[in-house]
Structure 1
Amino acid sequence: MPGHDTTDSTTDRTSFADRTIVVSGGSRGIGLAIALGAARRGANVVLLAKTAEPHPRLPGTVHTAVAEVEAAGGKGVAVVGDVRKEEDVARAIDTAVEHFGGVDIVVNNASAIATEATDQLSVKKFDLMMDINVRGTFLLTKAALPHLQQSQSAHVLTLAPPLNLSAKWLGAHPTYTLSKYGMTLLSLGWAAEYADAGIGFSCLWPETYIATSAVTNLAEGDALVKASRSPEIMADAAVAILSQPSADVNGQTFIDSEVLTKAGVTDLSPYGGGDDPILDIFVDERTS
């Protein structure tokens, strides 16, 4: 994989042995890529996802994802469940504790997106984004907190953007923006609330489109994928963050390319996207 080589100086030699990571929505895409990045370094991985059976338009299930985790060198357990449901989230954390003795890392990856204009957006989609993005992040983090507080290297990484209050993004899709910024605000709030607990609360967001099924299934998906980077850039950035002392990343919001550049990666071309990859939502054009 492209990212596995480009971060050799910063992450490949960092062991995640004996560390347990719980990932929501980890059956495919960015969540699975992060799980595999941790697994290659020996992590125990618990994947919480609804996909027990193959989806007609999306690859993989939570069970095939666990098989990939184990093939990559980690130990994996699948939990079929919905991050919106308190009992399913509790079962995921209980599973991590029963199988591996605790929880060291939570990755709040599960997310829903709908970008219709407000007068066209259904209440059902409004509720879905709030329930998965905000409620799911809250439920999983809350359930893990007692165990994170006992970890020697605790992190909660939430896939949410830096707060960008420009009219462009506030007006583009207010409900989706509210749900994603809600995830960011929870992370920043927890960083302050638990400042003395030894947990690194941070956010990670891609600079560009990422070549996932969500992009492939859009209109002109093939062309969009060619101008998107691979999920491994997010995985390598996540591993770089999770390899740092918790206090060093607490309260931070990161962009994937900036994390890797700071870590010494000078060439991002192996991740794909061509010479001019599409900037992601909430990311402004660089002025310099």
Structure 2
Amino acid sequence: MSLQGNTLSGKTLFITGGSRGIGLAIALRAARDGANVVIAAKTAEPHPKLAGTIHTAVAEIEAAGGQGLAVQCDIREEAQVVEAVRQAVARFGGIDILVNNASAIQLTGTLATDMKRYDLMNGINARGTYLTGRVVLPHLQAAAKAGRNPHILTLSPPLAMEPRWFGPNVAYAIAKYGMSLCTLGWAEEFKREGIAANSLWPRTTIATAAIQMVGGDPMMKQSRLPSIMADAAQEILSKPSRAFTGNFCIDDLVLYEAGVRDFSAYAAVPGTRKFLPDFFLPKDVAELPE
């Protein structure tokens, strides 16, 4: 249930990497409001180890009540991003919301992270976010002029420059913080035009294929479901773009401020009360009130 009504009805979302996990959860949450959702991701054919393709994602979006468009796209390739955005605008007439979800991860130190993997993470996370934003922004400017409440939402952490987060995995940290720097810059650059730019990050690990790869079943069992990120994203994207921008949000705090008090439904394993904290959480991040 939406805490603010069907506020994304008729809006068009462009989501990178949305064939599974948090991106797909955000897509389905918007679809239940009646939104149009463009899934721009690499997986067009079934993967031997990862569930979901751009086509299965669109089928789920349409079953949930939205309209979907599947576009195979590697956001490291400018021509592919330009073509994906062209197809989105041709199908739906414009873009109101950009969700920068696509990301690559490897939690290794400097000597264990070769340049191929460094380039992959920074090419998708930091560069891909910037590239996609740059291509979509003219359409968000048009949405702003039309009063359609345009938003950019990037799944990246608060900019807490704490050495403990960089030391164990400096390449990944650089890539994720690069995404957050896009939020910081775009919020300032486009605030007068009424385009919001915000970041969203989970307090706990989220039960996705990435977490399964990093920590296996033990980590998955102490994680929350992607639906908590989807519900928090919906709340952010429903806010007035001229009033809510430049924020680095934590998922459960967004929902608490929206009136949620019972978070038990978000546990990956029902009844779990102790969750693993996610990476990059600042030392001073607010706790939920008792």
The equivalent of 1:62 in structure 2 is 54
Aligned ranges for residues 223-242 of structure 1 at < 5 Å? Answer: 223-242=218-237
Aligned-partner SS, 1:113: coil
Give the percent of matched residue pairs that are identical in Structure 1 and Structure 2.
51
CA–CA distance in structure 2, aligned partners of residues 287 and 41 of structure 1: 30
Matched letter for residue 239 of structure 1: Q
CA–CA distance in structure 2, aligned partners of residues 132 and 146 of structure 1: 21
C-alpha deviation, 1:87, in angstroms: 1.0
The equivalent of 2:22 in structure 1 is 30
Q: Does 1:145 align with 2:151?
A: no
CA–CA distance in structure 1, aligned partners of residues 235 and 261 of structure 2: 15
The equivalent of 1:158 in structure 2 is 154
CA–CA distance in structure 1, aligned partners of residues 253 and 108 of structure 2: 30
Aligned ranges for residues 35-50 of structure 1 at < 5 Å? Answer: 35-50=27-42
Matched letter for residue 48 of structure 2: P
Q: Does 1:183 align with 2:179?
A: yes
C-alpha deviation, 1:260, in angstroms: 0.4
The equivalent of 1:246 in structure 2 is 241
Q: Is the 8 A contact 1:15 1:42 kept in 2?
A: no
CA–CA distance in structure 1, aligned partners of residues 183 and 8 of structure 2: 23
C-alpha deviation, 1:135, in angstroms: 1.1
Deviations 1:124-182 (A, max 9, x none): 00000110001110111111111101112100000000011122112121111111111
Q: Is the 8 A contact 1:107 1:156 kept in 2?
A: yes
Count of aligned residue pairs for this structure pair: 279
CA–CA distance in structure 2, aligned partners of residues 165 and 217 of structure 1: 26
Root-mean-square deviation (CA, aligned residues, Å) is: 1.4
The equivalent of 2:110 in structure 1 is 118
C-alpha deviation, 1:217, in angstroms: 2.9
Provide closer, same or farther for how the CA distance between residues 87 and 265 of structure 1 changes in structure 2, counting only shifts above 3 A. Answer: same
CA–CA distance in structure 2, aligned partners of residues 87 and 241 of structure 1: 30
The equivalent of 1:169 in structure 2 is 165
Deviations 1:219-256 (A, max 9, x none): 5x122111000000000000000000002221111010
The equivalent of 2:280 in structure 1 is 282
The equivalent of 1:15 in structure 2 is 7
CA–CA distance in structure 2, aligned partners of residues 169 and 141 of structure 1: 26
Deviations 1:3-54 (A, max 9, x none): x4xxx4x14x223222100000000000000011111001000000110111
CA–CA distance in structure 2, aligned partners of residues 27 and 266 of structure 1: 30
Provide closer, same or farther for how the CA distance between residues 191 and 264 of structure 1 changes in structure 2, counting only shifts above 3 A. Answer: same
CA–CA distance in structure 1, aligned partners of residues 6 and 247 of structure 2: 21
CA–CA distance in structure 2, aligned partners of residues 194 and 183 of structure 1: 16
Aligned-partner SS, 2:110: coil
Provide closer, same or farther for how the CA distance between residues 55 and 155 of structure 1 changes in structure 2, counting only shifts above 3 A. Answer: same
The equivalent of 2:197 in structure 1 is 201
Q: Is the 8 A contact 2:202 2:250 kept in 1?
A: yes
TM-score, structure 1 normalization: 0.94
Matched letter for residue 251 of structure 1: G
Deviations 1:191-212 (A, max 9, x none): 1111211101000001100001
Aligned-partner SS, 2:256: helix
Q: Does 1:82 align with 2:91?
A: no
Matched letter for residue 282 of structure 1: F
Q: Is the 8 A contact 2:183 2:199 kept in 1?
A: yes
- Structure 2 residues not aligned, in runs of 5+: none
Matched letter for residue 15 of structure 1: T
Moved over 4 A (4+): 284-288
Question: Which stretch of structure 1 is more off in the superposition, 250-259 or 167-176?
Answer: 167-176
The equivalent of 2:258 in structure 1 is 263
Aligned-partner SS, 1:131: helix
Aligned-partner SS, 2:136: helix
